[in-house]
Amino acid sequence: MWNNENNKKSSLGLNMVEKIMSRHTNKIVKAGDIAICDIDFAFGQDGTSGMIIDAFREMEAKKVFDPKNCAMILDHSSPSPIIGVSAIHKKIREFTKEQGIILHDVGDGVCHQLVPEKGHVVPGDLIVGADSHTCTYGALNSCSTGMGSTDVAGAMVAGKTWFKIPEIIKFVCNGKFPKGVYSKDLILYLIGQLTADGATYKACEYVGEAIADLSIEARMTIANMAIEMGAKFGIMESDEKTSAWLKGKTDREFLAVESDDNANYSQIIETDVTNLGPKIAMPHTVDNVCPIEDVLGKKMDQAVLGTCTNGRIEDFKVAAEVIKGHKVHPDVRFIIVPASRSILLQAMELGYIQTLVEAGAALVTPGCGPCVGTHNGVPSNGENVISTANRNFKGRMGNGSAFIHLGSPATVVASAIESKIADPRNYVN
């Protein structure tokens, strides 16, 4: 049986993922085991919640397992761009009222900012969401993963779901980040090394001096993109920064987990960030990563700052610092998307929004923005886009004939200034 003492260092040889999964099935489980686990929170977004509702009805379910731990979030096409989406939004609003579950409506922000920001996740939690980047919350020492809409509907009804416990890859990241290099550059580098399917149905554990030095927001950027290696979970240790970030967001007590010294890993990858440089993911795969020096000067037509990967307050701080004293090039459309309403208000209060808009940026409603390709900046045929998003697949932004490049917020802003891929190290102090 599982007990709370096992969350701490023990002789059981368990990693963080195995400990959280063991806690939620009330017995010790290890990689390869099949387990039915209780969940702490489940949600869908407007692209998936309509299907969750349909599956709920098909199951002839009457109520969700716990209304305060289920949510639906209107963020992907928000505000609605077409009548069909408006109908889905209406359907979601009516269902959330019927069930008494949480609704985050138009303008509240993107799901992967709101779930942690609103205190729906704490260390040790197990969360499922009908969105692939649910792995973001691993930055808060939780196991969180994306699932299909039918699976999430079942979890909302039963309060539990089944898992095959994944093997885990341990990334040990040490050293100090150089000027103009960020967590986005690190995760792009790691994905380029491991490839897009190098961690399929595994989990990623990120530890080391370089991770500990990062803010919670920067850690979220890394955890968010674990799925881009194929991983089910991306998880980090809880520390003083975690507790400080959660303060005021939740009054839930929590028990953080640590990996045992003799924990098992399928692979251990060590990286020193000291000499890491800015990275670019080239079209049309996230693992098509190269040093920025290889593509400096490539013409860009659109730049995007935001999404669930890099739409947080420190990203806007970096962007405002880079663009100060400069203007967006007239040949570039620079779209900025705060990840939530609270981030928008804070960025306004701190002057970041004014600095960016005065420089020529176009501000859109908090949410996913143009990332998923339904509104707010679909590129034209043959256009090049540089974005802080997490995916650059063909057609990702709504046009299979456009070319999406991924980089850090500083790289995106520098490129918006020059209308070509530009080195952010020339703009940061």
pLDDT digits (tens, 9 = 90+) for 122-160: 999 999 999 999 999 999 999 999 999 999 999 999 999
* Pick from 424, 423, 390: nearest CA to 321: 424
- Answer yes or no: do 181 and 313 share one domain: no
The pTM is what?
0.95
| Tens digits of residue pLDDT in 211-264 | 999 999 999 999 999 999 999 999 999 999 999 999 999 999 999 999 999 999
- pLDDT digits 0-9 by tens, 384-424: 999 999 999 999 999 999 999 999 999 999 999 999 999 99
DSSP string computed for 234-273: EEE---HHHHHHHTTT-----------TT---SEEEEEEG
What residue type is assigned to position 344 of the chain? L
Q: How many residues are there in the chain?
A: 429
Tokens 């000027």 label which residue?
179
Q: Look at residues 271, 298, 323 and tell me which one is the last residue of a structural domain.
A: 271
Q: How confident is the model at residue 12 (pLDDT cuts 50, 70, 90)?
A: confident
Q: What count of other Cβ atoms lies within 10 Å of the Cβ of residue 179?
A: 9
Whether the predicted pLDDT of 185 surpasses 90: yes
Whether 174 and 210 map to the same domain: the answer is yes
- 136 and 25 housed in the same domain: yes
Total number of domains in the chain: 2
Question: What are 57's two structure tokens?
Answer: 């009805």
Write down the pLDDT at residue 58: 96
By CB atoms closer than 10 A (0-12, 13-18, 19+), residue 93 is middle
For residues 146 and 226, give the distance between their C-alpha atoms in angstroms, rounded to a whole number. 11
**E strand or H helix at 298, and its extent?**
none
Domain limit, last residue, from 243, 271, 299: 271
Helix (H) / strand (E) containing 290: strand 289-291
406 in a structural domain: yes
Indicate if 31 and 176 belong to the same structural domain.
yes
Q: Is 336 in contact with 358 (CB distance < 8 Å)?
A: no
Is 345 among the domain residues? yes
Cis peptide, bond prior to residue 79, ω within 30 of zero = yes
Q: Please indicate, yes or no, whether residues 229 and 296 belong to a single structural domain of this protein.
A: no
Give dist(CA 427, CA 181) in Å, integer: 12
Judge if 57 and 95 occupy the same domain.
Answer: yes
DSSP count for the chain of H helices, then E strands: 14, 18
What residues contact residue 279 under an 8 Å CB cut-off, 6+ apart? 184, 185, 188, 189, 192, 289, 290, 291, 292, 407
Beta partners for residue 202, in sequence order: 167
Residue 42 sits in the same domain as residue 82: yes
**Residues 288, 234 share a domain:** no
**201 and 297 assigned to the same domain:** no
Phi-psi bin for 30: left (phi > 0), alpha (psi -120 to 50), beta? beta
Residue 82 lies in a domain: yes
Please indicate, yes or no, if residue 23 is contained in any of the structural domains.
yes
Q: Which of 271, 295, 321 is the last residue of a domain?
A: 271
> Based on the domain organization, do 220 and 318 belong to the same domain?
no
**Residue 306 covered by a domain:** yes
CA distances from 45 to 33, 289, 304 (A): 30, 29, 21
Containing structural domain, residue 412? 283-424
CATH of the domain at 368: 3.30.499.10
Q: What mean pLDDT, rounded, does the chain reach?
A: 96
**Shared-domain flag, residues 291 and 202:** no
* pLDDT of 2 over the 70 cut: no
pLDDT value at residue 429: 79
Q: Is 141 left (phi over 0), alpha (psi -120 to 50) or beta?
A: left
Q: What percent of the chain has pLDDT over 70?
A: 98
Whether 250 and 354 map to the same domain: the answer is no
- Indicate whether 20 pLDDT > 80: yes
Determine how many CB atoms are found less than 10 A away from the CB of residue 119: 13
- 198 neighbors 206 (Cβ within 8 angstroms): no
Instruction: For 35-72, write each residue's pLDDT tens digit.
Output: 999 999 999 999 999 999 999 999 999 999 999 999 99
